[in-house]
Structure 1
Amino acid sequence: MVTVPYHTFVVAKDSQLECPLGNGGVAFQMKSLGCPKGKYGGLCQFDCVCKNGATCHIFNGACKCLPGWKGVACDEVNPSLELSPKTITVKYGDTYLFYCYAHHISLAAGDKDQPRFQWYINDIILDTLSQWIHVSEDSKVYNSYGTLAVIHVATNLTGKYECRVRDQTGIEYSDTGYAAISGCRNNKWGDECEINCDCLHADTCDRYAGCICSSGWKGRHCNEGVNWECCFDSIHLLQAK
């Protein structure tokens, strides 16, 4: 048995290293996965200066600020609106949520008829659209947020979503996101995914055609066996001719 002393290697890039052992040695690859948190540089020798949850670039130390902050070190307040998520893909009939965060914004007062968070879908104001949508907002004036919930997504509720607010001086802020439908939920088909598949012997349930039956089966739910005898009789008649 050979005991190898413990060594610490510092590498700035992927390297081929060798460890001599008597008349032989061990060669191995070492991959550089980045710097420890709070460090940057070719040898991770520099300290990051980023603040307020920002991350710094592994090579040059440039700070990537979180929403609501700006500046070289992300230590300057930056009033902004953030809609999250930016894109979402769901099944027909699913429920999904959009969140609208007002970072470092003192919101103008609202009421029941004029909420502080205004929502638009494809440039149409929300209150003219659907019973399947619910909105809410917290009561804070500063660093507040609003929520939009689509309870049953349908084709007319996909596309561009926009959140708008005004601060106490009248300045308007806005941000956008997008929602798309990728198909039906399990065991559903139809233009609006309103029909149950309930296929008994099928390879798949098509969005627009329903059950695609396996060989030997037919019917809307693939629950009727194919009468092969009639087919064989037809073949014999053709052969007899």
Structure 2
Amino acid sequence: MVWLGPPWLLRIFFLASHVGAAVDLTLLADLRLTEPQRFFLTCVSGEAGASRGSDAWEPPLLLEKDDRIVRTPRPWQPPHLARNGSRQVTLRGFSQPSDLVGVFSCVGGAGPRRTRVLYVHNSPGAHLFPDKVTHTVNRGDTAVLSARVRKEKQTDVLWKSNGSYFYTLDWHEAQDGRFLLQLPEVQPSASGIYSATYLEVSPLGSAFFRLIVRGCGAGRWGQDCSKECPGCLHGGVCHDQDGECVCPPGFTGTRCEQACREGRFGQSCQEQCPGTSGCRGLTFCLPDPYGCSCGSGWRGSQCQEACAPGRFGADCRLQCQCQNGGTCDRFSGCVCPSGWHGMHCEKSGLGDGPSASAKVQDGHTSALAGPPG
């Protein structure tokens, strides 16, 4: 049995994820591993202090399931938490499918930079499934949550927000096999966990979403939203409290202007995806207000689909507009021929770096350890 917790817990829960400037903290899940016994989550920190020992970065990383919103029975055998030094922690050893459904969190950093990264896991066998799990919008925007029908039932669909009833849709109101929830002119108080469930169906069959509402309108940050964001590139999101760009996995730089080498991520491109298939099948969750996405060059509900020609970046959300013979690389964008540079190869001359729309950053390789055996 699964139940949604009381809404009064949400105020503490979601404020905690926005405290202080974001640290270099990434929570990864391998979406290809659908069996509970094989599934694992890994949280890794790229902070300088984390690599010098646990006494240099107190308290240590925490990785756990958060049952304050979606509660499931405790497993017969609790998941195993394994540490690889002080910079990486892995949670694995789940016993049943219901153990995987819900909200997981990784907490790292100390003092005002204490940061919580959240991941929402949906059951692959659910009746309804989100087209996109994490949505980040600006204050005043219209947010649209889309639940795709996988197993149709001729009953109403119940939407909940932070564990409480929110809205009901008649089953006839499905549009192209999807139930849509539109939230006009959203405010930060609308942030939280949303779910769509057929009536009389176990919540395990629900579609779960996370909505992140920035505290300012588009392109603004600061306590009174009077400051202008730097113009984050390649899908980066401007932090509404400090104005810094939170870059998508695979990009770095103050404006996310540099692309990491294929298969790398982290604020300095210092981390490397485990295994031989690069970042295929992995979802990356970063500090708010970014949320979660596939790695650069990948898309789909399991992050296993390569970008279509002409698309690139995390979730393949970006479109190449290459000029002057430039070609589109699905990981970094336009690769320019000799004599051209710029985002779209629109500038002539040698430029000041590699001939790619996003200069490629080498980083220093720090391969993540795979799940413990």
* Larger RCO (CA under 8 A, 6+ residues apart): 2
The interval holding the TM-score normalised by the smaller chain is 0.3 to 0.5
TM-score scaled by length of structure 1: 0.36
TM-score, scaled to structure 2: 0.24
Higher strand share: 1
